[in-house]
Amino acid sequence: MRTSEAYYTPEEYITLERKAIPDAEIVRSEYMNSKIIGRSSSNWAHNVITGNIVAGLYNRLGNSQCFVFAHEMRVSIPAANSYFYPDIGVVCEEPRFEDDVFDILLNPIVVVEVLSPSTEAYDRGDKFAHYRQLQSLQEYVLVSQDKVRVDHYVRQATQWILTDFQTLDQQLPLTSIQCELPLQEIYENVPFPE
């Protein structure tokens, strides 16, 4: 994680990010507490897991009113003055956007982050604390890439209840979108370190 030492307004951050879209040389970043946080690059396992989850959700959501999106859709958390790029997310019914550019989503119902050594503490800590302020968010899922482990947080009133899954024969229940993902499918073709 690289954090800028300078302080930026949300408007300055959005202007910089929108300039980055056509320029492949500029790395996209997230925004929290007036600071810009550089995003880490991903490896093979991260990309395979992300693809598996997106494909699994896309196939299961079918003709529902829910849509899956992956890592290029920015999510705004106005109450936390933050912007993040979740690895995967789901929005149901009508997506709401911050403005008429349609690149900042306000109402995901599910967010999935694939963990890496450089982002795990951030995804479990500050980032999750900010995501919890999204009223639309019902489920937060953290997927390890170096072992079979999925941490599933579900909002129940004012609390977040954790269930963890650690074997390939288990199913991840995503109750807010009425589907399940087998861990075998999430981790298909993922090489684990020896």
Domain range 42-186, CATH architecture: Alpha-Beta Complex (3.90)
91 DSSP β-pair partners? 67
Nearest to 57 by CA among 185, 188, 187: 185
pLDDT per position as a tens digit, 133-174: 999 999 999 999 999 999 999 999 999 999 999 999 999 999
Token pair recorded at residue 172: 């991840």
Nearest to 167 by CA among 189, 153, 187: 187
Number of H helices, E strands in the chain: 5, 14
pLDDT per position as a tens digit, 33-73: 878 887 666 789 999 999 999 999 999 999 899 999 998 89
What's the one-letter identity of residue 25? E
- Domain ranges in the chain are 42-186
Q: Give the single-character DSSP code of 15.
A: H
